[in-house]
Amino acid sequence: MPGRAGFVIGKKALPLAVDRNRVRRLLREALRRARPGIEGYDVILRLKRGCPRHEFRLVAAEAGRLLAPLAGDGGRSPPTADAR
């Protein structure tokens, strides 16, 4: 079963919708690059505080670094429905 992804970017963090959407697109790209290693996981990415526009790519790069251990599996496989 493929995993799902969600993004939480509040208005307080990035007041302009165009900025929130740009960050979402960049984060979606970071998730796409981490596949297929994260297919078994449901992932929620949350932007806790805002950043200037010139740092949006840094946010996406950090998300990629955080997803790398999941994508590489780190000797651990995703939970299955039978493992309850």
Give per-residue pLDDT as tens, 29-68.
988 888 888 888 888 888 888 899 999 999 999 998 988 8
* pLDDT for 81: 52
* pLDDT for 72: 77
User: For residues 29 and 67, what is the distance between their CA atoms, to the nearest angstrom?
Assistant: 12
- Split at pLDDT 50, 70, 90, the class of 2 is low
Cα 42 off chain centre by: 10
Q: Are 56 and 26 in contact (CB under 8 A)?
A: yes
pTM for the model stands at: 0.75
Q: Are 67 and 31 in contact (CB under 8 A)?
A: yes
